[in-house]
Amino acid sequence: MQTTVNPDLITRAVNFIRSRVDFPIQAAVVLGSGLSELAKVDNPIEIPYAEIAGYPVSTIPGHKGSLILGFQKDISVAYFLGRKHYYEGEGIDKAVFSVRLIAALGIKNIILTNAAGGIREDLSPGDIMMITDHLNFMGTNPLIGAHHSQWGERFVDLSNLYNQQFLEYAMAGAQEKTIILHKGIYAAMSGPSYETPAEIRMLKMLGADAVGMSTVPEAIVAAQHGMRVAAFSLISNKAAGLQASLNHAEVMEAAQTALPRLKTIIDSLLSRIDAE
Ligand code: HPA
């Protein structure tokens, strides 16, 4: 039987991090495939996930597996470099460990990032899409299982999951720097195979603009904890059937071209959060 994530496990991890970092943390940023370079803070404190008791370490190339804390101008930020995915097979609760930890650290603002396949015609490799809503096709939900009331409600309202204020901040930041920031609906699949062309046609009919294998479980758990959530998809490829074939190397490559633009958008969002 796999160990499940429980409040004691999270408390142990928090105590360990708090032994290294004593300042309040205003925002957390979870970085997906190939996006580790976005974590630039002054006087960084780096804690490899492997040093944090109970932390599920990812096995995916491009996912670095460490926590970087520090200040960016005046705002204190925790960058999570790499995430555990549901498809790694260790249970959905492992995929949301970071978010439980972020909540227990007292962080109220979370920015999630991912690489995704573009379904809507105007979404091409290198484009950035801010998630306005999602379709959960993972076949599971991270809130299934024991309910710990200190984590929040059993039945969590997702009517306003992706924070409207954050959407406005990010749009304003992008416009100021003349960066195109798309908005759209993200469909989460379990993976790890990419979708079939027929599945992509189905998702398109159901209103999905982009598709990926992460973010949704984390966003749901963040909502349970009452956090404000922003989420960005970096379009790494056109989804199956809309281009010849798909591969992970291409996902990593597209991430590189969009990195400076995504960094500008996230930095401007962080500075607007700081100015509140
Ligand atoms: N499908 C699912 N996940 C992905 C894709 C895709 O096309 N691209 C990057 N992550």
pLDDT tens digits, one per residue of 228-265: 999 999 999 999 988 777 777 777 777 788 999 999 99
pLDDT reported for residue 141: 96
Residues annotated as catalytic are 33, 63, 85, 87-88, 115, 213-214, 237, 248
Is the CB of residue 210 below 6 angstroms from any atom belonging to ligand 1? no
- For the chain, give the mean pLDDT: 92
Q: How is residue 150 annotated by DSSP?
A: G
Give the tens place of pLDDT for each residue, 125-147.
999 999 999 999 999 999 999 99
Q: Is residue 268 part of a domain?
A: yes
Whether 2 is in a domain gets the answer no
CATH code: domain of residue 184: 3.40.50.1580
pLDDT of residue 60: 63
From the CB of 200, is ligand 1 less than 6 Å away?
A: no
Please indicate, yes or no, if residue 215 is contained in any of the structural domains: yes
Whether 1 has a pLDDT exceeding 50, the answer reads: no
Give, for ligand 1, the residue of 211, 234, 238 to mutate: max count of ligand atoms closer than 8 Å to Cβ: 211
Asked if residue 124 belongs to a domain, the reply is: yes
Residue 115 CB–ligand 1 contact under 6 Å: yes
Question: With 70 as the cut, is the pLDDT of residue 61 above it?
Answer: no
Ligand 1 atom nearest the C-alpha of 118 is 7
State the residue range of the domain holding 72.
7-274
| Angle, helices 216-224/97-104, rounded to nearest 10 degrees | 30
Give the chain's domain count.
1
Q: Name the closest-CA residue to atom 3, ligand 1.
A: 212
Model pLDDT, residue 73: 87
CB 34 less than 6 A from any atom of ligand 1: no
Global pTM? 0.95
Our mutation pick for probing the ligand 1 site, out of 60, 120, 251, counting the most ligand atoms within 8 A of Cβ, is 251
Report residue 3's pLDDT band, with 50, 70 and 90 as the boundaries. low
Task: Decide if 1 is inside a domain.
Answer: no
Better pLDDT: 53 or 166: 166
